[in-house]
Amino acid sequence: MLDLFDTHTHLDAPEFDHDREAVIARARAAGVRYFLTVGVGGGLDSARRILPIIATHDFIWGSVGVHPHNAAIPLDIEALNELASHPKIVAIGETGLDFFHDHCPHERQELWFRAQIELALRLKKPLIIHSRNAGPTCLRILKEMHADQIGGVFHCFSEDQSFAAELFEINFRLSVPGTVTFKKAETLREVIRSAPLHQILLETDAPYLAPVPYRGKRCESAYMVETAKMVADLKGLPLEELAAQTSANAFTLFGINPIRGENILDECRRMS
């Protein structure tokens, strides 16, 4: 049995409203045993929606943040702090910068980005970084704010080997999505071949970015097995070993002890 960890999915997404529990069940049957569902979108609406999901499944944890696409909302870091106090919220984000879509002015994106780094440092929780066409600026801000003290992960990694090396120097990891299976993703595959295994996480970004052979369909966590197979081939490892190591990497980064899941769930019930 595989023990994979989908470290970036969006289980609260409307695309899963009609079959969320079935999606979770299919993933676990396929060998994806653990999940981190990322609550971003609609300001803080998504962050609030994930709380019932993580509070009722002992193998699902969460992250809360304000996505750069939503950075036009008023800065209210204390509201985010309140959500982040939930015992199963293990990271802040995804936060960062997106200079590709440019849905928000860059200064608003940076304002929220810096505020969330400060919150992560205060709470001692790692960061989940969204970076699109903004890698050098993201790195500069993380270095300026000493984010290496808490570390984190660049999700849906799409940069080159030199960028990855800079990430590793400041206590950040990279997360591999289904795009690694795409025909034109050779740059990403080269990064994976050279990256230290202990710096690699796996993700889906479901319901987006389904891997081959599901490309173009709604993505779900069960499909991450295809991503894991590709990464295992690139690293020259048995699939089971790749799964075990990348899951261990996630447990370490997010400070998760999976055998404590039921105890934490009891704590969540007492809070509700």
CATH number assigned to the domain comprising residue 230: 3.20.20.140
Could you tell me the residue range of the domain that residue 188 belongs to? 4-271
Q: What is the pLDDT of residue 258?
A: 78
Whether residue 268 is predicted with pLDDT greater than 80 in this model: the reply is: no
Band of residue 269 on the pLDDT scale cut at 50, 70, 90: low
Q: Which residues contact 81 (CB under 8 A, 6 or more apart)?
A: 119, 122, 123
Calculate the alpha carbon distances from 32 to 49, 203, 215 in Å: 22, 10, 19
Band of residue 270 on the pLDDT scale cut at 50, 70, 90: low
% pLDDT > 90, the chain:
92
Give the span between the Cα atoms of 202 and 175, in whole angstroms.
5
Q: Which range is least confidently modeled, 28-32, 186-190, 217-221, 262-266? A: 262-266
Q: What is the largest CA-CA distance in the chain?
A: 49
**Residue 271: Cβ within 10 Å count:** 11
Token pair recorded at residue 165: 């090396």
- Long-range contacts, stretch 99-107, CB < 8 angstroms, 24+ apart: 99/132, 99/133, 99/134, 99/137, 100/132, 100/133, 100/134, 101/69, 101/132, 103/68, 103/69, 104/68, 104/69, 104/70, 104/71, 104/72, 105/71, 105/72
Give the span between the Cα atoms of 257 and 18, in whole angstroms.
31
Q: Which residues contact 232 (CB under 8 A, 6 or more apart)?
A: 238, 239, 241, 242, 243
Number of domains in the chain: 1
CB 80 within 8 Å of CB 47: yes
Whether residue 139 is predicted with pLDDT greater than 60 in this model: the reply is: yes
Token pair recorded at residue 32: 């994806």
